[in-house]
Chains A and B, each alone.
Chain A
Amino acid sequence: MSQAAVKEQTLPRAKQNKKPRWQRMGFFGYASLIIVAFLSLFPFYWMFIVASNGTDEISKIPPTLVPGPRFFTVISNVYEALPQFNQALLNTVYVGTVVAVAQVFFSAIAGFAFAKLNFKGQKFMVLFVILTMMLPSQLGIIPLFILISQMGLMDSLGALIIPALVTAFGVFWMRQVIDAQVPNELLEAASIDGAGVFRAYWSIVLPIIAQSSFVLGLFSFLATWNDFLWPLLVLNTPENFTAQVAVNQLKSSYAIDYALNMGGAFLSTAPLLVLFIFVGRRLVRGVMDGAVKG
């Protein structure tokens, strides 16, 4: 670190407009980015290739790398094997949305309290929240199953929603966001003007954290969409399946049909990719904001 410290002292003297050498963008820079972009997208492309060609075709040497004519056949096979596939996608959207909204709501009010309010045990509670984030959630999966079943929620979407309404991570995240983004002065000014806690939260905190809430909601939505172990455990009826359970269902036949599997994987992923086209930039900003916050 001493290197940097030394440089820091020489700071003020450099003020040039000419772009320094290090900033030139070389061939290797672009090449590496393009390769990584290619590798990032390739598995999705491959799903489509296999789903549109069939396993035999892609196992040739050299393998087929262009889409084939069978895509719609494979997709209709998916719907034949599991007519409820669309229902599964809808269920996932429903569960994901409810969970996202609930998590944002509960996390925001708790995060606000932890960040800006002074109440007894506050310090201990925050520590508690942080500590619980370290516990592996898999540890409690069996008792949770028994609990959910005793509540009569087995084989219903409620079994996915109820345990996911709050997370320690969401609360901590929101606490950090509110701490960093909402200036105390604003709240003080509001309370001098006679605003109570509710008013202050509603008219000052909420508008400021709207962007970050959206990002938290997106991450909750994605996590819910992609969860598979718990839904697999609690759902029995195909009409109640989520996208991941549906994909797993296709995978669990004797006759492993890779085209069918990939077709299912593609169908379960495509909605996310479409969503990503609209919110991708915001997600990127969310990840990066989170990284530098504070």
Chain B
Amino acid sequence: MSQTTVGKARASKPPSPWKPARPNKKLNNPNAVLSLNGRWGFLFTAPFFVMFLIFGLAPIVFSIVIAFFNYDALGTQEFIGTANFEELFVDTRFWNALVNTIDIWLLSTIPMLIMSIGLAAVLHNPNLRGSTFFRTILLVPNITSVLAIAIVFGQLFGRDFGMVNIIIGALGFEHVDFIQGTTSSHIAIASMIVWRWTGYNALIFLAAMLAIPGELYESASLDGAGKWKQFIYVTLPSLRNTITFVLIVGTIGGLQVFAEPLILGGSYNGGDSGQFSTLTLFLFEQAFVAYKWGYAAAIGIMITVIVAIVSVINFFITRKLAGDGK
């Protein structure tokens, strides 16, 4: 999620890898300090590249290769071309996982976006007392482990004796079986994600709001715009880029969600009937329960493709927004 930083930086800073301002086309790095000997660059980046190639890239490349194999790790490996992918496209479990993933993403992203912008607006108020305190508290959920939190949430969402259901019961409603239900399990998982990231994103939005010139508000105020109108006409438009990026980074994270459903369900199957199986969880299930490493690798490639498509869409939306945003 901290990629948000990257995203934002990319959005508004001209010398970015996507939109390099090119004072000198011949240079490899147009922003470089030319009086420094550039050859040292190889030495400085070498440790990173060597280690990254070995421990980051090589395993992924290996996985991409075995996606085209019927890969029995303890037996024989046989090249089968695109058969894994063909099987995947007609595998209802894959589509189920995709739908679940998107559903969980929607259920988490939308409330999170609204709440974090709302929180940022409140924190933006210069008259707020204890603003440092509140900002700090908001970041607390972000630093804790998914494992510890899933244990707590799993207990809170228990059907009969979980706190959430005790409250629901006290309000006179029927208890909800959060784990067994499809939508309800998605809500339980989404709530963990929302809990974890709302404060973090609120800080991102707050930073973006603080960058809006105060004069915009003052003049709006002079024009008779109330609090709400100022928010709609001044704040929100200025946040467009930030919203896009929080959204997109949330999507990339959301498409790879697995820790929350894994711990909540206690197994890789994502619930008794796969009601909260997600794409990455499905990958793990195929790899570690069904032992179909080739198939699992094919799923991984599909996840990457989906992430890439979203990123490309992101790229164009951002360009467009950045283009007429000024």
Contacts and interface: CB of A to CB of B under 8 A. Distances in A.
Interface of A: 1, 3-4, 7-8, 10-16, 19-25, 29, 32-33, 36-37, 39-41, 43-44, 46-47, 50, 58-59, 61-63, 106-107, 109-110, 112-123, 125-127, 130, 132-144, 147, 162-163, 165-169, 171-173, 176, 179-180, 184, 187-188, 191-192, 196-198, 200, 219, 222, 225-226, 228-229, 243-244, 247-248, 251, 258, 261-262, 265-266, 268-269, 272-273, 276, 280-281, 283-284, 287-294
A272 B62 contact: no
Contact of B127 (A24, A33, A39, A125): A24
B126 interface: yes
Contact of A11 (B31, B54, B213, B283): B213
A228 B145 contact: yes
Contacts of A109: 44-45, 47-48
Contact of A10 (B126, B136, B170, B219): B219
Q: 8 tightest CB-CB pairs across the interface, nearest first? A: A294-B13, A290-B5, A140-B59, A119-B41, A118-B32, A143-B59, A139-B300, A113-B44
Nearest to A288: B207
Nearest to B131: A33
28 contacts: A3-B233, A3-B237, A11-B215, A12-B215, A23-B127, A37-B137, A59-B161, A107-B48, A113-B40, A116-B33, A117-B29, A117-B32, A118-B38, A119-B28, A119-B40, A166-B52, A173-B6, A176-B6, A180-B9, A187-B36, A276-B139, A280-B140, A287-B203, A288-B206, A291-B208, A292-B207, A292-B211, A294-B12
B36 A117 contact: yes
Contact of B5 (A4, A243, A268, A293): A293
Given A110-B45, A121-B28, A179-B31, A22 B135 contact: no
B234 interface: yes
B219 A166 contact: no
B155 A50 contact: yes
Given A7-B219, A23-B126, A138 B41 contact: no
A63 B166 contact: yes
Contact of A176 (B9, B57, B219): B9
A249 to B, nearest CB: 11
B218 A119 contact: no
B56 interface: yes
Contacts of A188: 33, 35
A120 B204 contact: no
Interface string B226-262: 1100100110011010100000000010001011000
A147 B63 CA distance: 13
Nearest to B149: A43
A252 to B, nearest CB: 9
Contacts of B204: 287-288, 291
B219 A291 contact: no
Secondary structure at the B interface, as helix, strand, loop or mixed, is helix
Contact of B148 (A162, A192, A269): A269
B60 A140 contact: yes
B234 A4 contact: yes
A269 B141 CA distance: 11
A113 B41 CA distance: 5
Interface in B255-312: 256, 258-259, 280, 283-284, 287, 293, 296-297, 300-301, 303-304, 307-308, 311
B268 to A, nearest CB: 11
Contact of B237 (A1, A191, A265): A1
Nearest to A265: B148
Given A11-B219, A23-B125, A262 B33 contact: no
Interface in B135-155: 135-141, 143-149, 151-153, 155
Interface of B: 2-6, 8-10, 12-13, 15-17, 20, 27-29, 31-42, 44-45, 47-49, 51-52, 54-60, 62-64, 115, 118-119, 122-123, 125-129, 132, 134-141, 143-149, 151-153, 155-156, 161, 163, 166, 169-170, 195, 198-200, 203-204, 206-208, 210-211, 213, 215-223, 226-227, 230, 233-234, 237-238, 240, 242, 252, 256, 258-259, 280, 283-284, 287, 293, 296-297, 300-301, 303-304, 307-308, 311, 324-325
Contacts of A266: 148
B16 to A, nearest CB: 8
Contacts, number: 385
Nearest to B57: A132
A273 B140 contact: yes
Nearest to B262: A229
B119 to A, nearest CB: 6
A200 B6 contact: no
B273 to A, nearest CB: 22
B200 A287 contact: yes
A229 B258 CA distance: 10
Given A62-B166, A289-B207, 8 more contacts: A32-B122, A43-B195, A110-B44, A134-B252, A137-B56, A180-B13, A188-B35, A196-B37
Contacts of A24: 125, 127
B63 A140 contact: yes
Contacts of A122: 28-29, 32, 38, 41
Contact of A269 (B10, B13, B144, B195): B144
A119 B59 CA distance: 28
Contacts of A290: 2, 4-5, 8-9
A142 B63 contact: yes
